């Protein structure tokens, strides 16, 4: 039996998502207002890392956000020009990613989605390596062990299980609660509001709570799961879900880089000391499309976008620095020049990315290559004749090498390779048009 809409069964949607909650509600942690003024909070405060000057840290945040936005806008333009198959935009979420990313220590480990370009920047990943994935020439060419930043996860929510398991492994390695700031380790799982409805995410909450795992679940609530608004996904604010699993949750202004840093710093410290998981909901807004294949004008109001433009994460830091005389025009001009240089690096580097060898698809299948796989790539392997009456035959290695070399040359020329036996018993099929590598990769992402 459905509850009476006027009864006290559960919270009213107007209470949760109505006008009083439009700016995040009364429990929102905010340390820098949209007008660029510092604010106080009873539980959280902005404290730079040991030995770092506060002003220089904030100036660094500004630089990180400007460069992150340039990565995003440049990559969007590259996709529009056909250089990328697809791109997942982060416009408007720079503060959530930079603030949380800069709170990490070198030994902490990150499990991202496919949109954490700002976190990748903070972890030292060359953004050109991100473009290789979206161009379709590789599956992510950065070394996760070098940066402690995992591969992008396309499967929605799957990385939260990876993070919970990794955090449990950190416990078993004795890298939690030792009191050594260079050893104690925390894990961060990034995901969006849409992923919070996935079973994998909720299962990761169960495991993390049961084992008191040192993991921070960082949810960027940009209020749209592609075209589905947040009010269709939850009857309560997302951060309150954590209480049902037995660990704390907090909602932070996702457009306030100082607050995102402070809240993430506290959650990471809590994980490192052995106090268990924390849910952080960064309340923000997706200013762009879900990806470059999406048209958000079909399902949301332009008035909402204009409202959130006034909360721009970069503009509020710029106003704060200028109003308080903490940065001169030379500083801002220098950051702009650096952004232009980064844009040129991405344009030139993207066009120069080499197409992969067809056989490179086998390179990362196993941590240690098996004999069977090695034989398939370099040795004798079965080939199929056009006749159905004959079974598989084996060609000598030398002939296969010549055949592979010829196949690679034809692939490079865009001719494709016609499978033997296709015309047996019927007319020859016309060859299908071969899409560029990055376009074929885009079809896979969709």
Q: Which residues are catalytic?
A: 286, 290, 299
The 3-state DSSP class for residue 189 equals: strand
Residue 164's Cβ-side half-sphere holds a number of Cα atoms within 13 Å equal to: 22
Is the distance from CB of 186 to CB of 268 less than 8 angstroms?
Answer: yes
Is the distance from CB of 64 to CB of 124 less than 8 angstroms?
Answer: no
Q: How many residues does the chain have?
A: 446
According to DSSP, the residues that pair with 94 across neighbouring strands are: none
Is the distance from CB of 101 to CB of 119 less than 8 angstroms?
Answer: yes
Run of H or E including 60: helix 54-80
d(CA 365, CA 347): 30
Run of H or E including 275: none
Which pairing describes strands 249-253 and 382-383: parallel, antiparallel, or unpaired?
unpaired
Query: How many Cβ atoms from other residues are within 10 Å of residue 226's Cβ?
Result: 13
d(CA 105, CA 188): 11
Query: What's the token pair of residue 202?
Result: 């909720």
The 3-state DSSP class for residue 184 equals: coil
d(CA 119, CA 138): 20
Nearest 5°: the CA angle 291, 134, 138 is 155
DSSP strand E in 254-306: where?
A: 278-283
d(CA 175, CA 204): 20
The 3-state DSSP class for residue 215 equals: strand
Rounded to 10°, the helix 199-211/158-172 angle is 20
d(CA 393, CA 384): 7
- Of 285, 271, 248, 269, nearest in space to 94 by CA: 285
Residue 351 CA, distance from chain mean position: 23
Burial class (CB in 10 A: 0-12, 13-18, 19+), 261: buried
């Amino acid at each position: 039996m459905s509850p009476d809409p006027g009864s006290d069964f559960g919270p009213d949607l107007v209470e949760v998502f109505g006008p009083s909650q439009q700016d995040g509600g009364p429990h929102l942690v905010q340390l820098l207002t949209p007008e660029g003024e510092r604010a106080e909070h009873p539980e959280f405060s902005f404290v730079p890392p040991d030995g770092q000057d506060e002003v220089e840290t904030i100036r660094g945040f500004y630089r990180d956000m400007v460069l992150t936005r340039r990565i995003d806008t440049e990559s969007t333009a590259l996709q529009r020009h056909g250089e990328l198959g697809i791109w997942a935009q982060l416009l408007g979420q720079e503060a959530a990613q930079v603030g949380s990313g800069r709170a990490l220590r070198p030994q902490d480990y990150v499990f991202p989605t496919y949109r954490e370009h700002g976190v990748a920047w903070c972890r030292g990943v060359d953004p050109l390596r991100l473009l290789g994935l979206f161009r379709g020439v590789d599956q992510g060419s950065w070394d996760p062990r070098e940066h402690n930043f995992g591969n992008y996860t396309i499967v929605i929510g799957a990385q939260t299980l990876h993070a919970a398991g990794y955090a449990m492994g950190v416990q078993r390695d004795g890298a939690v609660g030792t009191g050594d700031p260079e050893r104690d380790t925390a894990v961060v799982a990034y995901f969006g509001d849409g992923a919070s409805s996935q079973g994998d995410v909720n299962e990761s909450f169960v495991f993390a709570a049961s084992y008191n795992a040192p993991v921070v679940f960082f949810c960027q609530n940009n209020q749209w799961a592609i075209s589905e608004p947040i009010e269709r996904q939850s009857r309560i604010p997302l951060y309150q879900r954590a209480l049902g699993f037995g660990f704390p949750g907090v909602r932070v202004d996702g457009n306030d880089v100082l607050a995102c840093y402070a809240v993430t710093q506290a959650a990471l410290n809590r994980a490192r000391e052995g106090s268990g998981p924390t849910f952080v909901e960064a309340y923000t807004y997706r200013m762009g499309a879900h990806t470059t294949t999406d048209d958000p004008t079909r399902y949301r109001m332009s008035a909402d976008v204009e409202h959130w433009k006034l909360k721009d994460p970069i503009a509020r830091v710029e106003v704060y620095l200028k109003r308080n005389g903490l940065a001169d025009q030379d500083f801002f001009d220098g950051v702009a020049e650096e952004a232009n240089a980064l844009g040129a690096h991405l344009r030139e580097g993207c066009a120069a990315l080499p197409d992969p060898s067809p056989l490179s698809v086998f390179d990362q299948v196993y941590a240690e290559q098996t004999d069977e796989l090695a034989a398939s790539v370099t040795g004798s392997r079965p080939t199929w004749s056009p006749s159905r009456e004959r079974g598989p035959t084996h060609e000598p290695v030398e002939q296969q090498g010549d055949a592979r070399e010829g196949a690679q040359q034809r692939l490079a020329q865009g001719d494709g390779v016609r499978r033997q036996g296709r015309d047996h018993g019927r007319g020859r099929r016309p060859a299908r048009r071969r899409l560029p590598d990055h376009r074929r990769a885009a079809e896979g992402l969709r």
